[in-house]
Structure 1
Amino acid sequence: MDTQVDNRPVPVAGDLSTGDLTEALRLGWRDFLAKPHYGLFFASFYVAIGILLYYLLMVRGEARWMIALVAGFPLFAPFAAVGLYEVSRRLENGTPTTWAAILGALRGRGDEQLLLMGGIIFVGFSFWVIIAHMIFAIFASAAGLGEGMEFLRSPTGLTMLAVGSAVGAVIAFIFYAITLMSLPMLVDRDVDFITAIITSFRALSANFGVLLLWAVIIAAALGAAILPFFLGLFLVLPVLGHATWHLYRRTVS
């Protein structure tokens, strides 16, 4: 495969509407039904990690680190959807979908750009864990309480959760802006990751209201999917992953 990358500016649409979001979800549902085994496979890892983190937090009471991990692990959702982007890309092009091809997409297009994006996501996740740990330590020491669930139910613990949620929302939105168009673009094209990130920011800037609504839809859907012991992720993650691909195709020309 040719490893030359294209760093020329990429045109983006500036006329997205809520109808495009509805259409993306419709197409995402269609792709999931066409190849459900891929979506269930990728979602299973996410569900397993979620259940493990829940066990560590609720059963073992290791709140200091587990809260940060539980709140932050959705940041990996866009990267986990890379395989789903490849499924949708192949369905769109009429090319065969095989396990080798879909799993191979996780390595990128042979130019290491996708791996570099993965490194950025990991560094950002590590930064969030450190920030969340600092917030926890400040509030816990101020309250003079332990690290267990009794602290989280106290007024100070609830205030800490509110502050942490606000900080986490800002970090999550930055991740959203970085990855929304860049990850499917790196699956679709031979571009460098800087160009892909810039394109993602330009798409968000040109369609801020609609893509902000898309962020809210993603957050609400993931939150609802987590409630039934993470099992809702088996449906929500694949559909959102496929839908994001179609939203990318509508936006990046």
Structure 2
Amino acid sequence: MTSGTTGTTPQNQQPPAMPQPQTVTAEDIRAALKAGFSDFLARPVMSGFFGLFYALFGIFFVWALLWMGKIWMIVPGAIAFPLVAPFACAGLYEMSRRLKAGTSFGWADILTVMANQRKREMVWMAFVTLFILWVWFYQFRTVLVITLQHAAFSDLQGFFEVVLFTSEGWTFVIIATLVSAFLATVLFSVTVVAMPLLLDREIDFVTAMITSVRVVKRNPVVMLGWGAIIAVTMTLSFVPAFMGLIFTLPILGHTTWHLYEKAVAPKIGS
């Protein structure tokens, strides 16, 4: 299997065939988790670097919202935070690919592959993700204004008191949860396989998204179960000031690569 990170497809070459989804089982997730943990142990410092970067970004994100007085954005931000992790995992995908192939690599190799993604289709995936997140925040704000229009709070504690101990707050929780669950499912479905697929092959981002959705459609219980594992694990990692992400993000990132290899049929000739 090749990484597909060395330029564009020549004009005289036939476009690649549509990647084919495969059946994924709970045993495949277990095996992928085992392989992901093994990859983390093989290069703990390099893997942990990506987790540390993501953790520091989370700390800065929360601090910026508090500084701007956008307290209401912390909750949808915390919900959406795990779903943008695939962008932070591009280097981890490449590490897992090279570890499986037995190819030696250093910092420059991994960072170069990541830098090259700006010339490829992953940039368009970033726009898609940002658009869905924008819709996410907008709907959260809209529901907040409609359901809690008479409530007043000046800090995060006051926000939770209104949400948890008033009838308007529970109305807000129910509506926001339903809408957020729908958008989370959409975002997860179009990205879970698309990110490693774009790193691995020379295809367009629309094909990558379609393939990702087809994988989820073919394996709804298993793939959404995997999404739940990601969400719960990363949410628990927030508790110690985001520092748990130093370990959990790399393991989940490496695991995602191995799960992608199970979920999408290899290229012809690979």
Same fold flag (TM > 0.5):
yes
The one-letter code matched in structure 1 to 2:161 is R
- Within the candidate set 160, 179, 183, 1:171 is matched to 183
Instruction: Give the direction of change, closer, same or farther, for the CA distance of 1:115–1:62 in structure 2 (3 Å limit).
Output: closer
Aligned equivalents of 2:199, 2:244: Cα separation in 1: 26
Q: Say how many residue pairs are matched.
A: 251
Instruction: Give the direction of change, closer, same or farther, for the CA distance of 1:217–1:67 in structure 2 (3 Å limit).
Output: closer
| Displacement after TM superposition at 1:75 (Å) | 2.5
Pairing 1:209–2:226 present: no
TM-score (norm 2): 0.84
| Displacement after TM superposition at 1:108 (Å) | 4.5
Tell me, what secondary structure is at the counterpart of 1:32? Answer: helix
Residue equivalent to 1:37? 45
| Displacement after TM superposition at 1:96 (Å) | 2.2
Tell me, what secondary structure is at the counterpart of 1:245? Answer: helix
Residue equivalent to 2:152? 145
Pairing 1:250–2:262 present: yes
Check the 8 A contact 2:82/2:231 in 1, yes or no. no
Q: CA RMSD in A?
A: 2.3
Q: How does 1:1-253 map to 2 (within 5 A)?
A: 1-4=6-9, 6-14=15-23, 16-55=24-63, 62-108=70-116, 111-141=119-149, 143-148=150-155, 149-154=157-162, 155=166, 156-253=168-265
Tell me, what secondary structure is at the counterpart of 1:166? Answer: helix
Aligned equivalents of 1:161, 1:2: Cα separation in 2: 47
The one-letter code matched in structure 2 to 1:188 is D
Aligned equivalents of 1:108, 1:173: Cα separation in 2: 29
Check the 8 A contact 1:3/1:110 in 2, yes or no. no
Aligned equivalents of 1:172, 1:121: Cα separation in 2: 11
More off after superposition, 57-66 vs 107-116: 57-66
Aligned equivalents of 1:243, 1:35: Cα separation in 2: 14
Aligned equivalents of 2:159, 2:96: Cα separation in 1: 45
TM-score (norm 1): 0.89
| Displacement after TM superposition at 1:56 (Å) | 5.4
Aligned equivalents of 1:111, 1:234: Cα separation in 2: 28
Check the 8 A contact 1:113/1:192 in 2, yes or no. yes
**Structure 2 unaligned blocks of 5 or more:** 1-5, 266-270
